[in-house]
């Protein structure tokens, strides 16, 4: 059963699922289920959250929802530990924000064919921390949704625990 954060829908039963069904079960994405991300989730769940919410927004805005779904699922396709990378980063090396986006795009191209739009979305999802500017409206969507999902992933578990504590 797949669900995005703050969604009650089982994603396998939605129009979203066929757009990503060829890549969602691949080994490269399965590896992300082993990596903690934003304290309370896995990197796979984060990618699923960004993918689904970007898809919904792009569909409503009549943008390329298929590319948003696919790029969202692949946007954090990297395996190193961010804290270790930052600690060992030498002078002149890319920041984690820039490094992981470029690496994710390379890894995504190894999993499936990615369009120029999908590449732009993956490589620039950390804007405005990274440069250059996104070239497509869909890239701005995924950029905002990525930050939105990060906040939800951090706050929702804490809110649930607080509500449960109040209920007793």
- Whether residue 78 contacts residue 97, with contact meaning beta carbons closer than 8 Å, is answered with no
- Ordered per-residue pLDDT tens for the chain, 168 residues: 788 988 888 999 999 999 999 999 999 999 999 988 767 789 999 999 999 999 999 999 999 999 999 999 999 999 877 767 656 767 767 777 778 899 999 999 999 999 999 999 999 999 988 888 999 999 999 999 999 999 988 887 667 676 677 776
The pTM score is: 0.88
Q: Which CATH architecture has domain 11-82+93-167?
A: Orthogonal Bundle (1.10)
Alpha carbons 86 and 29: distance in angstroms, whole number: 23
In three-state secondary structure terms, 32 is: helix
């Amino acid at each position: 059963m797949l669900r995005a954060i703050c969604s009650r829908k089982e994603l396998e039963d939605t129009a979203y699922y066929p757009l990503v069904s060829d890549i969602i079960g691949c080994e490269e994405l399965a590896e992300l289920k082993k990596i903690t991300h934003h304290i309370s989730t896995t990197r796979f769940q984060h990618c699923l959250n960004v993918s689904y919410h970007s898809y919904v927004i792009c569909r409503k805005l009549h943008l390329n929802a298929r590319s948003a779904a696919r790029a969202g699922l692949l946007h954090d396709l990297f395996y190193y530990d961010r804290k270790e990378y930052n600690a060992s980063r030498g002078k002149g090396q890319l920041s984690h924000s820039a490094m992981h986006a470029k690496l994710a795009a390379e890894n995504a191209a190894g999993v499936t064919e990615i369009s120029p739009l999908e590449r732009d979305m993956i490589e620039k999802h950390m804007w405005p921390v990274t440069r250059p500017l996104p070239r497509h409206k869909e890239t701005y969507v995924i950029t905002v949704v990525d930050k939105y999902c990060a906040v939800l992933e951090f706050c929702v578990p804490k809110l649930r625990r607080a509500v449960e504590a109040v209920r007793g």
